[in-house]
Structure 1
């Protein structure tokens, strides 16, 4: 299967051997970040540095001042971690080595946006704001994300894009000095803690026949046993229905699904309008529509009529759960990319990549994604190299 490795511009710029190492790894494509959230990242092979601190969500190229003129919400160029056209410089070096470059665009995940424009953030049932999670139902946020998708995806020379966080973000978030592990939340409790109660979403719940004040109170009541017992509350949509009631749960999901679907349709449409006809658009996704985060919850049947395919989280046996729902709706040209973490220190198992990839192919995967070639250690990359060199069974 065709394999692509995720990389950051700072993995490549200033390292004349970076592109050749990727070719030697056995990949012919790279997914290069062009718009990314704040992070702290190792560069274990870079000749001059070992740590990059990206202080805020930014575009890694110069944003077009004409495109963003007069807009309250606009992307920020990166600081000294990716100055100037860092994406373009890295992409040129990668293409010169014969690699196919696709953009990697993070959308609805920006602490900078929430800090500068607090009203754009998701607000939970307790009134707490999530500054890292813009509410994708708000018209101004949606307009910003759609415009960002078009600009960040269609960079010079790119043959496609992968849109991450193109949907709802919620409570789960690796934040600075996180201190939220005292109570373990199952994904049902995560869903309730991720429901937004901003003015736009309150109106949306009303359109679905719910009183937003009563809904917020019901969420708080449903979560009280979770806080008292130390965690959990079950997994899967039936657990959400048990906590909130089947009718209210369905109504919240209907509102959130409509908001996410139309954002995805608009974002993909904007990218296609700006790109050449063969440009490929993929979304990082999860087949459970209620899930939030980098891999946005979607309806597989719907999203495969919108995008050219999806990138799916398959580390740790995840392929068994996420691939079949999409494979059931795949066309001949649909891309189902199985994404495996290959950094041992981040939960990956590169030593089993060959077997994992073979199983993913059996389940319908057509391509592989390797997260992340810049972060992985030399032994991890050696394991990846051996796996990609192994003949397919």
Structure 2
């Protein structure tokens, strides 16, 4: 199967050996970040540095001033990688080593945007804002994300793109110094905590027959026993219905799916228009449960494969977890890229990659993604190289 490894431009820029080292793993492609959220990243093999601190969400190329002129919402430039266009510099080096390149574009995940434009953020039932999560129901946010997708995806040298967080973001967030684990919140409770109550969402609930204030009261009532106790381990959509009631839950989902589909269709169309005349592949990081929010956005499998060329699916975990992710795509045409964490220090298991990839293939996966070649240790990469050689 075609295999791609995720990478940051700062893993390559300034390291003349990086591209050949990646090619030596046995991958055919690199998924290279062109727009990314804030992070602190280890660079264990770089000749000049060990830690890169990306202080805020930014694009890793010079944004087009004409495209963004007059827009209140616009991408932020980066300052932590040397050079005017670190994405292009890294992509050129990787291509020189015989590797194809896909752009890796993180969209609805941007804490600086939320800090500077707080009215754009998701607001929960208690009135708390999530600055990392722009509300995709807001027209200005929708327009910003569609334009960012087009610009950040179709970079020079890229033969395709992989769009992350192209949908709802919510409560769950890998946050610095996070202090939210004192109460257990299963994914059902997290759905309730992710429902947005900004003015646009309240109007949207009204369009599908829900009163926004009544919904807010219902959500808070459903969550009240959790705060009084130890939380809730309810999982899946049946858990959401148990907490909130099936009728109300299904109506909230109808609104959110409508919004997410509109954004996904518009963004994919904008990318294809930008790439007109090029053989350009568009994939989404996705989860087949439509209610899920986050980096792997909830989708309807048939709809998303009729919209984009394929999906990148989270496949780290046991056989049952892979079956749950890949099973709903059975019989559908398109790229099904199984994404495996190969950083053992971050919960990955590169030692079982050969076996896990074979299992994913038996479930219909036709490509592999490896997260993350820049962050992995030397032994992790050796295990990956061995698995790809044998596979």
TM-score normalised per structure 2: 0.98
Q: 1:3-44 CA deviation, whole Å, 9 max, x = no partner? A: 000000000011111001111100010000000000000000
1:321 maps to 2:334:
no
Show the counterpart of 1:300.
301
CA shift in 2, pair 1:175/1:8, >3 Å: same
Give me the whole-angstrom Cα distance separating, in 2, the residues matched to 1:340 and 1:327: 19
Moved more, 176-185 or 344-353: 176-185
Q: Secondary structure at the match of 1:56?
A: coil
Give me the whole-angstrom Cα distance separating, in 1, the residues matched to 2:12 and 2:330: 35
Q: Is the Cα–Cα contact under 8 Å of residues 339 and 371 in structure 1 kept in the other structure?
A: yes
Give me the whole-angstrom Cα distance separating, in 1, the residues matched to 2:104 and 2:263: 18
Q: 1:324-348 CA deviation, whole Å, 9 max, x = no partner? A: 11123x22xx100000000001110
Give me the whole-angstrom Cα distance separating, in 1, the residues matched to 2:187 and 2:6: 27
Give me the whole-angstrom Cα distance separating, in 2, the residues matched to 1:233 and 1:339: 26
Show the counterpart of 2:225.
225
CA shift in 2, pair 1:374/1:215, >3 Å: same
Give me the whole-angstrom Cα distance separating, in 2, the residues matched to 1:309 and 1:77: 29
Q: Give the RMSD, CA atoms, in angstroms.
A: 0.8
- Report matched runs for 1:333-372 at 5 Å: 334-372=334-372
Q: Secondary structure at the match of 2:306?
A: coil
Give me the whole-angstrom Cα distance separating, in 2, the residues matched to 1:351 and 1:287: 27
- Aligned length in residues: 388
Q: Secondary structure at the match of 1:34?
A: strand
Give me the whole-angstrom Cα distance separating, in 1, the residues matched to 2:315 and 2:83: 33
Q: Is the Cα–Cα contact under 8 Å of residues 121 and 129 in structure 1 kept in the other structure?
A: yes
Moved more, 225-234 or 207-216: 225-234
- Report matched runs for 1:244-323 at 5 Å: 244-275=244-275, 276-317=277-318, 318-323=321-326
Show the counterpart of 2:63.
63
Show the counterpart of 1:189.
189
Q: 1:84-116 CA deviation, whole Å, 9 max, x = no partner? A: 201001001001111001100000000011011
Q: Is the Cα–Cα contact under 8 Å of residues 53 and 80 in structure 2 kept in the other structure?
A: no
Give me the whole-angstrom Cα distance separating, in 2, the residues matched to 1:83 and 1:127: 42
| Displacement of 1:279 | 0.3
Q: Secondary structure at the match of 1:90?
A: helix
Give ranges in structure 1 of 5+ residues lacking alignment. none
Q: Secondary structure at the match of 1:316?
A: coil
Q: Is the Cα–Cα contact under 8 Å of residues 60 and 83 in structure 1 kept in the other structure?
A: no
Give me the whole-angstrom Cα distance separating, in 1, the residues matched to 2:66 and 2:335: 34
Show the counterpart of 1:210.
210
Give me the whole-angstrom Cα distance separating, in 1, the residues matched to 2:131 and 2:372: 26
Q: Is the Cα–Cα contact under 8 Å of residues 9 and 82 in structure 1 kept in the other structure?
A: no
1:96 maps to 2:99:
no
Q: Is the Cα–Cα contact under 8 Å of residues 52 and 80 in structure 2 kept in the other structure?
A: no
Deviation >4 Å, runs of 4+: none
- Report matched runs for 1:17-166 at 5 Å: 17-81=17-81, 83-166=83-166
| Displacement of 1:232 | 2.0
| Displacement of 1:278 | 1.6
| Displacement of 1:259 | 0.3
Give me the whole-angstrom Cα distance separating, in 1, the residues matched to 2:231 and 2:385: 41
Q: 1:72-94 CA deviation, whole Å, 9 max, x = no partner? A: 10001111235520100100100
Give me the whole-angstrom Cα distance separating, in 1, the residues matched to 2:83 and 2:314: 31
Give me the whole-angstrom Cα distance separating, in 1, the residues matched to 2:82 and 2:199: 36
| Displacement of 1:175 | 1.1
Q: Is the Cα–Cα contact under 8 Å of residues 30 and 102 in structure 1 kept in the other structure?
A: yes
Q: Is the Cα–Cα contact under 8 Å of residues 162 and 283 in structure 2 kept in the other structure?
A: yes
Q: 1:201-226 CA deviation, whole Å, 9 max, x = no partner? A: 00001111111111011101111111
CA shift in 2, pair 1:228/1:81, >3 Å: farther
Give me the whole-angstrom Cα distance separating, in 2, the residues matched to 1:228 and 1:50: 44
Q: 1:257-301 CA deviation, whole Å, 9 max, x = no partner? A: 000000000000000001034200000000000000000000001
